[in-house]
Chain A
Amino acid sequence: MNGRKVLIIGLDAAAPQLVFEQFREDLPNLRELIERGAYGKLRSCDPPITIPAWIVMVTSVNPGRLGLYGFRHRKRYSYTEISLPSSRSIKVKKIWDYIGERGRKVCLVGVPPTYPPPRVNGWLISCLMTPDTKREYTYPPELKEEIERLVGEYIIDVPFRREDRDAVLREIYEMTEKRFKVIKYLLTEKPWDFFMFVEIGLDRIQHAFWKFFDKEHHLYQPGTKYENVIRDYYKYLDREVGEILSLIDDDTVVFVVSDHGAKRMKGAFCINEWLIKEGYLKLKKRPEKVTDLEKADVDWENTIAWGWGGYYARIFINVKGREKSGVVDPEDYERVREELKRKILNIRGPNGEKWNTKVFKPEELYPVCKGEPPDLMVYFDDLYWRSAGTIGHNTLYLPENDTGPDDAVHDYDGIFIFFDPRRNLNGRRVDVNILDIAPTVLKLMGISVPPTMEGRVIEEVL
């Protein structure tokens, strides 16, 4: 068992209900891995979002210890200044560091956040945080030329929130085809022991086209030419997976994983409009059109709390001595936080329907909270409603998102498929946690699992 090679196929946002049920018969290659290997749900971290989820997977460290709560963080408790996560934000070792230290070669493509490209014992292509392809986005830097000779301009990502869906679709395929060309090249040309890639296109496709195939979606549009876009893209990915499998030897153990799942979006809840209505957030002047809160004329001296948008809401309390114009006394902090939590839990939907909202204090989710955690983390209606941070809507509920068309939200469970070409596991069902992947990979490669990793080795598949 010792010293195996490992390939991790990362499909951002691959949903268990689609891969294991709805589309299963359309995906012959993945089906074979499932039926001869083991499979199950993979519980993501909190929040179940691309950053921090992938880096939680490859470190087996929770977001609190990483100090990573999403795609942006406050800078020194500023109201408006933010910092973005980069490879330098990650202060703990990734699995490829442990593997590289033992002299074994790694090859990594698109794992967020890996921009700027860090030094690894092998080859690396950065992720969706790369500002543009004019920058250095590979390690070693010469790899960039090799890639561009192969595919021309490499495509990092495709922003999908545009009404021109034909263009979005075309661009996503172009991006993914180029990425797979690069992946297949690296798989055959480089002498690797550990290979991991993340394809982001699936997440983009699901966000842009979910309402055309899900009959339960509140904006479901039946019979359009986009009806099978998501199914077809899964089928396309399956073909690419098939080609990849034909390129590897039977010494290589394969994982197919996602960082979180996906489900239909019911709408966006305007968190800051609600905080204004409840008297927690004060403006000097109400904007005439829809505006980001950071650009609005906020009366910070009289504001108790404000929020951020995203697939989950982050709430911040304006604390004396912590924020520049803080108003909440530190001794009142817990009382205000409890009161807000209670009120948020009571928020109902646009038709008075009860919501299954979850509100967390970060310390309830994580044993330590490094960096600048929010004061409250909110999943509106079990994540079915996203959070809109903009103001000026004159309503609390938006049928669509506030920053362009979007049909899907994230779900807690991603996918886990394990396949060892040398052993038949007969499609054993094993549900895992995102923290369990890194220790299992190390064990397979004959490397002892460091005690700092929080997950377990998935012994059922070894």
Chain B
Amino acid sequence: MNEEKQRRKYTTVSIPVSLYERIKDLIKDTGFKSVSDYVTYVLREIVAMHEAERSSEPFTEEDVERIKQKLKALGYL
């Protein structure tokens, strides 16, 4: 049952074997218990950064086009 639960919480993504080997070397004698640990950590950081970037852009592409037309009609562009 536990194994089943574990399987539902995780999934597999593929990375090149050479990258896997580099990471394995890199995390020797660090707090990371496995390559998966490290990859999860790095991805979480980067994804959060990208999400923050996205949320700070208040206008959708469609908004930008619409507002551009309006600003043009108002003489600002």
Contact = CB atoms under 8 A, between A and B. Distances in A.
A310 B64 contact: no
A84 B70 contact: no
Report, nearest first, the 3 A-B pairs whose CB atoms are least far apart: A159-B73, A71-B76, A131-B63
B59 interface: yes
A84 B66 CA distance: 11
Contacts of A389: 77
Interface residues of A, number: 33
A185 B27 CA distance: 63
Nearest to B76: A71
Interface residues of B, number: 17
A404 B76 CA distance: 12
Contacts of A160: 73-74
B75 interface: yes
Interface of B: 56-59, 63-64, 66-68, 70-77
B66 A131 contact: yes
Given A86-B59, A115-B58, A131-B59, A311 B66 contact: no
A72 B75 contact: no
B67 A311 contact: no
Given A72-B71, A84-B64, A131-B67, A116 B77 contact: no
A49 interface: yes
9 contacts: A71-B71, A71-B76, A71-B77, A72-B68, A72-B76, A84-B68, A131-B66, A161-B73, A311-B76
Contacts of B67: 84, 129, 131
A386 B75 contact: yes
Given A116-B58, A131-B67, A406 B77 contact: no
A389 B75 CA distance: 11
Given A84-B64, A87-B58, 19 more contacts: A50-B76, A71-B71, A71-B77, A82-B64, A83-B57, A83-B64, A84-B68, A88-B56, A88-B58, A131-B67, A159-B73, A159-B74, A160-B73, A207-B75, A308-B77, A310-B75, A310-B76, A386-B75, A389-B77
A161 B74 contact: yes
Interface of A: 49-51, 70-72, 82-84, 86-88, 115-116, 129, 131, 157, 159-162, 204, 207, 308-311, 386, 389, 401, 403-404, 406
A310 B74 contact: no
B24 to A, nearest CB: 36
B59 A84 contact: yes
A309 B64 contact: no
A401 B75 CA distance: 8
Nearest to A401: B75
B39 to A, nearest CB: 28
A50 B64 CA distance: 18
Contacts of B63: 131
Contact of B75 (A86, A88, A406): A406
A49 B76 contact: yes
